[in-house]
């Protein structure tokens, strides 16, 4: 049994739990299943993430090398791309490669080699945003299926038809498209595949067309190096007549004296209020997109591809998001009348997030789509480990977060809905055999978990149901501010869905602000926090410093001789200094 006492959850020694299918509701008992079956499209920021997404239920994955794919932190070399495609195809999963940056002149020189390499591995689609790149690929590799990226900002049926006339086989619609617009686009565009985002981080501009990162950090958002400047914390300062600059500290004593407004030059007198308090302000911090509560809307009109954002996120994210949406999609097709999103939302709650929002689904954003108080990812669960190998008598597990005696590990299998719980009291080092009561993740330790601990489970079941790359999670102790943030996020989501209570939301926001104040009093930095100065020298495609500073001329010459997708190494020094 599971007990609750003062916010703590106490488990029995070991047991299994299973996610059941949804319970019936009171909707009309008529539902036509569309002829188009939607695919689940998952991100693959590394070869490991690709394999996990495939094992946990993706119908398709998308990936790319770091220099041309809008993700400079992507860990995919061309060799990884080849291996990834082979792995995915062996599991009957489609692969789409990304070539979706807005190209500069220096990028054009790379296209012949890239396209020639892509032709050899034959992905199921090539995702392109730039019209010039689209034209180049269509001319030099006409056999490749071209998909139009969300970067192209396709938000109307007319734009879909335009790209279709040029030869596109699929259009990724912008996150800004409402469900009503999506329905009309589907009705008017039957002969081309449509792809829509259903989960992941939201960009505060039109699908990535932003220059804030360029100005604030000299990292180009449209070249895959966005610094997420929109999510930074900002405070107002004032400059005195003597030239000194001081922070404008708002306190209970002076707060009522100030209101802050923006006034646009050509609209005198039209004042736009800015909200800020002594904690600062996250002016452009969207909560994460989560369409799960409205997923059936997308399935019933036959959206061809349901896309999850997150190539830069963890293997834990890749696997568990895929698992939740895989179960939800399959269950809807089996029983659309009895389908309900609740069990799958509980799964998604185990993944760190900024709070979930429907974003533009209804057309207009609500105030609850935005996080004004903090921008971190929060969950009361965390990535405990991952099975690296299955031996005759034990699992070998890579530890991903600190484990202590008494922790309850939940093994989440790729194919089964039945998870496995185990309370563990000691940790056996896989290399030395030494036993400890705690293990830290910093040195990437491996531990052995003997099958003997699972004395109620069949050994053959353990070996087959929990293969290598199986994810393990555990509950996480939250700080007071994290707990208050979670409660606020959940209340905001309820209000978006037509429930919840605005007064209760305001009370929870005040509780969060109080908890943040208390945490700030205890916070201390071990090193000066002045931000990153200059460039790491690795050759990130969107780094303006690397590509335009004379100090990096030698590094640029070296990079030009490297293989496609291979960046320079970082060893604590900048390449320019060598």
Strand partners, 137: none
Q: Which residue has the higher pLDDT, 521 or 289?
A: 289
Residue 265: what pLDDT?
A: 63
The answer as to whether 7 is a domain residue is no
Do residues 361 and 178 touch, judged by C-beta distance below 8 A? yes
What is the per-residue burial (b if ≥16 Cβ within 10 Å, else e) of 214-250? beebbbbbbbbbbbbbbbbeeeeeeeeeeeeeeeeeb
Helices (H), 189-288: 212-217
Beta carbons of 170 and 304 less than 8 angstroms apart: yes
Confidence of residue 221 (pLDDT cuts 50, 70, 90): low
pLDDT at 15 over 50: no
- Judge if 252 and 149 occupy the same domain: no
Residue 373 lies in a domain: no
Question: Which of 432, 359, 326, 300 minimizes the C-alpha distance to 53?
Answer: 326
In this predicted structure, what is the pLDDT of residue 11? 36
Final residue in a domain of this structure, among 458, 475, 492: 475
The token duo for 284 is: 């452009």
Same structural domain, 269 and 314: no
- Window from 186-195, 257-266, 444-453 with minimum mean pLDDT: 257-266
Percent of the chain with pLDDT over 90: 54
Strand (E) positions, 226-380? 237-239, 245-247, 260-263, 271-274, 288-290, 305-308, 356-357
Q: Which has more pLDDT, 26 or 77?
A: 77
Q: What is the mean pLDDT of residues 236-250?
A: 65
**75-79, 378-382, 413-417, 435-439: least confident range:** 75-79
pLDDT of 280 over the 60 cut? no
Using CA atoms, how far apart are residues 513 and 505, in angstroms rounded to an integer? Answer: 12
The dihedral through the CA atoms of 84, 312, 556, 572 has a sign that is negative
- Cα distance between residue 82 and residue 459, in whole Å: 35
- Are 148 and 172 in contact by the 8 Å Cβ rule? The answer is yes
CA distance 452 to 462: 11
Least confident span in 32-41, 47-56, 188-197, 317-326: 32-41
Identify whether the C-beta of residue 138 lies closer than 8 Å to the C-beta of residue 126: no
Higher-pLDDT residue of 2 and 168 is 168
Query: Is the pLDDT score of 277 beyond 90?
Result: no
Looking only at the bridges linking them, the beta strands covering 418-423 and 14-18 are: antiparallel
Q: What pLDDT is recorded for position 20?
A: 63
The DSSP secondary structure of 71-95, one letter per residue, reads -TT----HHHHHHHHHHHHHTT-EE
First and final CA of the chain: distance in angstroms? 62
Q: Return the DSSP state at 286.
A: B
Assess contact for 321 and 353: CB atoms under 8 A.
no
Query: Does pLDDT of 467 surpass 60?
Result: yes
Q: Pick the more confident residue, 225 or 129.
A: 129
Alpha helical stretches, state H, 275-386: 295-300, 315-334, 342-348
Residue 102 maps to a domain:
yes
- Would 301 be classed as within a structural domain? yes
CATH code for the domain of 447:
2.40.30.10
What domain count does the chain have? 5
Residue 278 pLDDT exceeds 50: no
* The pLDDT of residue 140 is above 60: yes
Does residue 490 share a domain with residue 463? no
Query: Using alpha carbons only, how large is the chain's radius of gyration in Å?
Result: 25
Q: How far apart are CA 270 and CA 263, in angstroms?
A: 6
- Rounded to 10 deg, the angle between the 131-140 and 111-121 helix axes is 60
Between strands 271-274 and 288-290, the pairing is unpaired
Q: 48: which residues sit within 8 A by CB, 6+ positions away?
A: 315, 469
Distance between CA atoms of 281 and 268, rounded to whole angstroms? Answer: 25
Question: How far is it, in rounded angstroms, from Cα 386 to Cα 561?
Answer: 37
Query: pLDDT tens-digit profile of 345-389?
Result: 999 999 999 999 999 899 887 878 878 777 789 999 999 999 999
The domain that contains 101 carries what CATH number?
Answer: 3.20.20.70
What is the model's pLDDT at position 573?
44
At 86, is the pLDDT very low, low, confident or very high (cuts 50, 70, 90)? very high
Comparing 26 with 287, the larger pLDDT belongs to 287
pLDDT bracket for residue 572 (50, 70, 90) = very low
In 10 A of CB 396, how many CB atoms? 17
**Is 375 part of a structural domain of the chain?**
no
Is 185 a member of any domain? yes
SS3 state of residue 261: strand
Query: How far, in Å, CA of 194 to CA of 169, rounded?
Result: 9
Q: Above 90 in pLDDT, residue 94?
A: yes
At residue 3, the pLDDT reads: 29
Is the dihedral angle over the CA atoms 163, 165, 168, 173 positive or is it negative? positive
444 token code pair: 């990437």
Q: Give the predicted TM-score (pTM) of the model.
A: 0.81
Q: Check: CB of residue 43 under 8 Å from CB of residue 308.
A: yes
Who wins on pLDDT, 271 or 155? 155
Q: Work out the average pLDDT over 476-491.
A: 93
Whether residues 247 and 319 fall in one domain: no
Q: What is the per-residue pLDDT for 522?
A: 72
Verify that 109 and 187 share a domain, yes or no: yes
Q: Does 484 lie in the same domain as 443?
A: no
Range of the domain at 495: 480-522
Predicted confidence at residue 72, as pLDDT, reads 53
- Same domain? 497 vs 463: no
Is the model's pLDDT at 576 over the cut of 70?
no
The answer to whether the Cα torsion of 466, 467, 468, 471 is positive or negative is negative
Does residue 485 sit in the same domain as residue 471? no
- Indicate whether 90 pLDDT > 90: yes
Same domain, 471 and 495: no
pLDDT at residue 371, rounded to an integer: 80
Average pLDDT value for the chain? 84
pLDDT at 37: 95
Report whether pLDDT(454) > 80: yes
Q: Same domain, yes or no, for 311 and 176?
A: yes
* pLDDT tens sequence across 521-568: 776 554 444 444 567 777 777 777 887 888 888 888 888 887 766 778
Q: Is the pLDDT of residue 455 over 50?
A: yes
Residue 538 lies in a domain: no
Q: Name the band, by pLDDT with cuts 50, 70 and 90, for residue 117.
A: confident
Contact 77, 117 (CB under 8 A): no
Q: Are residues 266 and 389 in the same domain?
A: no
The number of beta carbons lying within 10 Å of the beta carbon of residue 451 is: 17
Q: Is residue 333 part of a domain?
A: yes
Q: Does one domain contain both 439 and 518?
A: no
Question: What is the structure's pLDDT at 337?
Answer: 95
Position with higher pLDDT, 541 vs 81: 81
């Amino acid at each position: 049994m599971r007990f609750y006492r003062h916010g703590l959850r106490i488990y029995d020694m070991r047991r299994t739990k299973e996610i059941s299918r949804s319970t019936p509701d009171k909707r009309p008992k008529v539902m036509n299943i569309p002829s188009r079956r939607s695919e689940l499209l998952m991100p693959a920021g590394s070869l490991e993430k690709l394999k996990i997404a495939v094992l946990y239920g993706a119908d398709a994955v998308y990936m790319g090398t770091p220099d041309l794919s809008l993700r400079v932190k992507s860990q995919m070399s061309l060799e990884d791309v080849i291996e990834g495609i082979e792995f995915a195809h062996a599991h009957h999963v489609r692969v789409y490669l990304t070539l979706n940056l807005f190209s500069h002149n220096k990028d054009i020189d790379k296209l012949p080699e890239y396209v020639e390499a892509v032709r050899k591995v034959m992905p199921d689609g090539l995702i392109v945003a730039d019209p010039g790149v689209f034209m180049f690929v269509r001319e030099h590799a006409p056999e490749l299926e071209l998909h139009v990226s969300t970067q192209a900002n396709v938000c109307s049926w007319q734009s879909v038809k335009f790209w279709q006339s040029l030869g596109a086989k699929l259009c990724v619609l912008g996150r800004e498209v409402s469900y009503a617009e999506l329905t009309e686009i589907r009705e008017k565009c039957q002969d081309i595949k449509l792809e829509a985002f259903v989960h992941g981080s939201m960009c505060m501009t039109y699908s990535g067309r932003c220059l804030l990162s360029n100005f604030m950090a000299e990292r180009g958002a449209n070249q895959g190096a966005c610094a997420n400047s929109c999510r930074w914390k900002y405070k107002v300062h004032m400059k005195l007549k003597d030239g000194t600059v001081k922070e404008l500290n708002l306190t209970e004593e002076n707060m009522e004296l100030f209101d802050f407004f923006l006034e646009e030059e050509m609209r005198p007198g039209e004042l736009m209020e800015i909200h800020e308090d002594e904690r600062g302000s996250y002016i452009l911090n969207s909560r994460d997109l989560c369409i799960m509560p409205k997923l059936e809307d997308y399935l019933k009109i036959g959206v061809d591809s349901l896309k999850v954002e997150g190539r830069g996120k963890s293997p834990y994210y890749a696997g568990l998001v895929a698992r939740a949406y895989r179960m939800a999609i399959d269950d809807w097709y089996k029983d659309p009348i009895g389908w309900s999103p609740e069990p799958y939302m509980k799964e998604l709650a185990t993944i760190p997030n900024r709070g979930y929002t429907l974003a533009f689904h209804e057309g207009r954003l609500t105030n609850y789509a935005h996080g004004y108080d903090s921008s971190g990812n929060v969950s009361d669960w965390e990535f405990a480990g991952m099975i690296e190998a299955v031996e005759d008598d034990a699992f070998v597990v890579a530890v991903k977060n600190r484990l202590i005696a008494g922790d309850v590990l939940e093994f989440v299998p790729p194919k089964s809905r039945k998870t496995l719980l185990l309370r563990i009291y000691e940790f056996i080092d896989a290399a030395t055999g030494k036993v400890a009561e705690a293990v830290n993740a910093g040195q990437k330790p491996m531990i052995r978990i003997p099958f003997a601990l699972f004395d109620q489970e069949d050994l053959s079941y353990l070996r087959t149901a929990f293969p290598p790359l199986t994810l393990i999670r555990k509950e996480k102790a939250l700080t007071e501010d994290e707990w208050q943030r979670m409660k606020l996020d959940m209340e905001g989501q309820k209000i978006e869905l037509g429930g919840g209570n605005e007064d209760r939301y305001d009370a929870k926001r005040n509780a969060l602000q109080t908890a943040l104040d208390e945490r700030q009093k205890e916070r201390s930095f071990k090193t000066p926090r002045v931000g990153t100065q200059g460039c790491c020298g690795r050759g990130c495609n969107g780094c303006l410093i690397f590509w335009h500073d004379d100090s990096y001329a030698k590094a640029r010459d070296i990079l030009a001789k490297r293989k496609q997708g291979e960046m320079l190494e970082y060893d604590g020094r900048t390449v320019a200094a060598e």
